[in-house]
Amino acid sequence: MHPRSYHRIEIRSTDDRHLPIDDLEQRGEFWRENAQYTLGVKLLQKPNTNVAKNVIMFLGDGMSIPTLKAARVYLGQLHNESGEETVLSFEKFPVTGLSKTYCVNKQVPDSACTATAYLGGVKSNEATIGVTAAVQLKDCDASLLEENRVSSIGEWSQAKGKKTGIVTTTRITHASPAGVYAHTAHRDWESDSGDAPPNCKDIAYQLVHEDVGSKFNVILGGGRKNFLPKTAVDEEGDSGTRIDGENLIETWLKSKNKSKAKYVWNRDGLLNVSNDTEYLLGLFEGDHCKYHLDADDKEPSLAEMTQAAIKLLSVNNQKGYFLFVEGGRIDHAHHDTKAQKALDETIEFHKAIESAVNMTNEEDTLIVVTSDHAHTMSVSGYGNRGNDILGSPGIADDGLPYSTLTYANGPGYREQIDGKRPDISAENSRDKNYKFPAIAPLLSETHGGDDVAIFARGPWSHLLTGVIEQHVIPHIMAYASCVGDGLTVCNEAI
């Protein structure tokens, strides 16, 4: 790993160790030593060709490359640093690549078709999950055909006797986590209260009743309402949505029979789960988990959920595990053009990955960090080093300030006043719910079509380099961990 803190470059010789960083950076030797050291570290890196006993996939929903840039600056500035040189935990991983994002039928993708790609290894149509592109939106009958169904790396891992887990800050039935276990012709069929035909089971039902979903050892996220009937009220006073009258939480507990199964609904419950728990279901909100900036101490952080999952999946486990962890609310904040919340959720994601790194061994655990799609936020202007990332980099040609963080479209659009842009200097851009400026008016900001980054460490991580199609990612993870029916390190010939 590079010998630098998260916030400042720390390489100093004996003669200049007392000089402030700003003075050091004016010296060419400072940068040359830094570069030579980094070169030396990279020359020492060797491919890890062990079998990956464990695989952890971290998915930052909507975590575009500009989001990474802005988040690292934001993190640094939270620590009273300029921020540009800050390093997020996963940015220290030795391997990076780019993933191409699109649906079979869409130039810019959604979280459903991308989940099918990065978890199932097959590209599909927009808003469909766990099915091939032969299934059109809402085509229930086509989604039931076995030849149109796509299995995920979660299922491949279960077939090899590995434990499996899902962690998310969204509803556990939302598009990204559903990609691990569900097959549906519409991502919105999360509960039977939707418009799905009766013969197409909703996503919550599939998680509890069907073969793959029912085998998950750890399930942590939001979305209680989709598991409870409309006549029921959950622990926090919210009503369920189900019209079939079934309490899927009770069904899940009963289905575990004599196994040591536990259901929890708040942070205290999660932190007090015993280590011998074999199956854990944690639903911490009726809907999505709260944003970190809005949450209280009753709701666990993404890092705490990740730690609990790794701990339980590791107990008495010789065959290893597959764990999917989603920082899902980065995406939601971007849709609302609430950039500060998007950056804060990215920092929470960074903390969760840091926890996983500290709890696992790089020799036998492959960790892959990526995103499903981008967003339209840009980082622009010629602001001075250390300029407030949530502020303005300068004055535009019309004599008014503009924002460093700007969206191509969305609810942050401001109408002109007397033919002029509004003066944003009168606005409080540091309010956590501030909507950053957008060029075109839309109720919800759109995704971006950019490639997204891949960061990896552990066995066979070196295969995740270059520019690759998104659907290749699970095939590489499967190769490293010897699961699935394709080429693996355990079976060099198909």
Active site residues per annotation: 111
Q: Do the Cβ atoms of 421 and 324 come closer than 8 Å?
A: no
Tokens 């919210």 belong to which residue?
A: 238
Among candidate residues 313, 331, 332, the one with its CA nearest the CA of residue 322: 313
Question: What are the structure tokens assigned to 216, written together?
Answer: 């998950």
Tokens 């400026």 belong to which residue?
A: 437
Q: Put residue 337 in one of left, alpha, beta given phi > 0 → left and psi -120 to 50 → alpha.
A: left
CA distances to 75, 114, 154 from 304, rounded to whole Å, are 19, 26, 22
Tokens 């590079």 belong to which residue?
A: 2
Question: What are the structure tokens assigned to 316, written together?
Answer: 């008495």
Surface-to-core class of residue 51, CB atoms within 10 Å of its CB (0-12 exposed, 13-18 middle, 19+ buried): middle
Tokens 């890092």 belong to which residue?
A: 303
Residue 453's DSSP bridge partners are: 98
Cβ atoms within 10 Å, residue 6:
18
How many angstroms separate the first and last alpha carbons of the chain?
36
Tokens 């998680």 belong to which residue?
A: 207
Report d(CA 350, CA 337) in Å as an integer: 21
Dihedrals phi, psi of 352, to nearest 5 degrees: -65, -40
